[in-house]
Structure 1
Amino acid sequence: MSNQILIIEDEPKIASLLSDYLQHAGYQATACHTGEDGLALLRDQPFDVVLLDLMLPGMDGLEVCKQLRRFSNVPVIMITALVDEVDRLLGLELGADDYICKPFSPREVVARVKAMLRRVQLQSDGSPGDTGGLSLDENRVQAIYQGRSVTLTLVEFALLKTLAEHPGHIRSRQQLIDRIYTDNRVVSDRTVDSHIKKLRRKLAEAFPETEFIHSIYGAGYRFEASPVEQEETPGPS
């Protein structure tokens, strides 16, 4: 049976466009135009992924996500035309799993849905997520990959461990701060960004063929092992 995707989008043209692309990709797509209708559908039948517009009439997407999390763990991809960081982080804290910003390519939405379903499948197989073969040695404070290792600082190791606990899930800067600094000290987003930058550089030097940490604009960071695209070498003229 095909995966069931629910689209909660108040603009009929966008909802129809997404439905067409998802069905063409082999999914079953159902669309509704209000948060209330979306919650009713989610209570009545199972869905595998929800595409949820943030700016809905009446009950907005954040409230829908908040109420949804009271009875379901279905993955939610929030669709928004807003780039305000507070709204985006609030969406994550309420239980959204990913974001995509308008205007968007329908093909990108399909790709995000496919990626989300892969993560769910990995978790249902008994794995907390696909770390791409990266392992962490807490005693040596090292990241190990394909027989090679790199030694990290305690903060870098803690950041990597926090991100790798749930591959594919976005972690906001505040969520990282709360996990890393348990003494309630005041830490700025810039400090976290600086540590992440150094961590990414160390990983890139040790494991140049694979990228592990991805920046998600306005939302935070995500761990997902992916091959680094190699630049093509121009042939002889």
Structure 2
Amino acid sequence: MEKLSILIIDDEEDMRHLVEMYLENSGFHCFSASNGQEGYAILKDTYISLIILDIMMPDEDGYVVCKRIREKYNIPIIFLSAKGEEWDKVQALQLGGDDYLVKPFSPGELVARIHAVLRRSGITKTDSYIQVGKIIIDRLARKVSVEGESISLTLKEFELLLCFVDHQSQALSREQLLDFVWGIDYIGSLRTVDTHIKTLRMKLGVGDYIQTVWGIGYKFEVPVQ
């Protein structure tokens, strides 16, 4: 299997080299950028599996860079920052970040966070293409089609679909779905799950695949024809 590529965006050269060394030693292929503009150029021409993004940068800070990336890409993002206040973490996650790591950090923790985010995104699987009923999923390209028609999903909708597919016929509670898709540190209402499932059903057009299990939550099951 080819190495997954990670983009590191940080204005501190020493930090970029340090993170790159950690990740290369852990089996990843790295690209690095000193600012958002360099990062956008790399994203335009390169398939990236995950982005490591510093917050405190001149010109465009990490929040602005994240917002601009989210306008075009659903690539998972882990924020790095010396700012450890709760509001900083909440803002980063609300803007589309998938995790938040406070400097200084250990190499082991960084790699563990990366694997956790990739696992939730479903892009560490060796089986890139999956077909379930009328749905075809390309995990690596993060694309979905139903009966040959391309379906546009947000990152969380895509992760939610992968979670269901990986746990077919299993009844999953809203709490489990939050942990799988949003992470155990997510701060928010269980109704977030209901809202995303409602939209996912509508977009897929095969709403009967995602069944409500009263008193528990939901399960994914392809009806027998």
| C-alpha distance in structure 1 between counterparts of 2:70 and 2:176, whole Å | 22
Shift of residue 103 of structure 1? 0.6
Task: Tell whether the 8 Å contact from 1:98 to 1:169 is kept in structure 2 after alignment.
Answer: no
| Residues 25, 161 of structure 1: alpha-carbon distance in 2 compared, 3 angstrom cutoff | same
SS at match of 1:176: coil
State the AA in 1 paired with 2:24.
Q
1:164 aligns with 2:177: yes
Partner of 1:129: 163
Letter in 1 for 2:90: L
Q: What is the DSSP-based 3-state SS (H/G/I as helix, E as strand, rest coil) of the residue aligned with 1:129?
A: helix
Cα separation, partners in 2 of 1:87 and 1:177, compared to 1, 3 Å: farther
Could you say what secondary structure the match of 1:167 adopts?
helix
8 Å Cα contact 1:7-1:51 kept in structure 2: yes
Q: Note if contact 2:178-2:190 (Cα within 8 Å) is conserved in structure 1.
A: no
For residues 89-128 of structure 1, the aligned pairs below 5 Å read: 89-119=90-120, 120-121=122-123, 125=130, 128=162
The Cα offsets for residues 91-111 of structure 1, whole Å up to 9 and x where unpaired, read as 111110011110101221122
Q: Taking every aligned residue pair, what percent have the same amino acid on both sides?
A: 33
Equivalent residue for 1:61?
62
Say if 1:53 and 1:61, in contact at 8 Å, map to a contact too. yes
Name the counterpart of 1:195. Answer: none
Match of 1:31 in 2: 32
CA RMSD of aligned residues (A): 3.0
Structure 2: give runs of 5+ residues left out of the alignment: 131-136, 138-160, 196-225
Instruction: Please say which structure displays the higher CA radius of gyration.
Output: 1
Q: TM-score with structure 1 length normalisation? A: 0.58
**TM superposition score normalised by structure 2:** 0.61
Name stretches of at least 5 consecutive residues in structure 1 with no aligned partner: 137-142, 144-159, 183-237
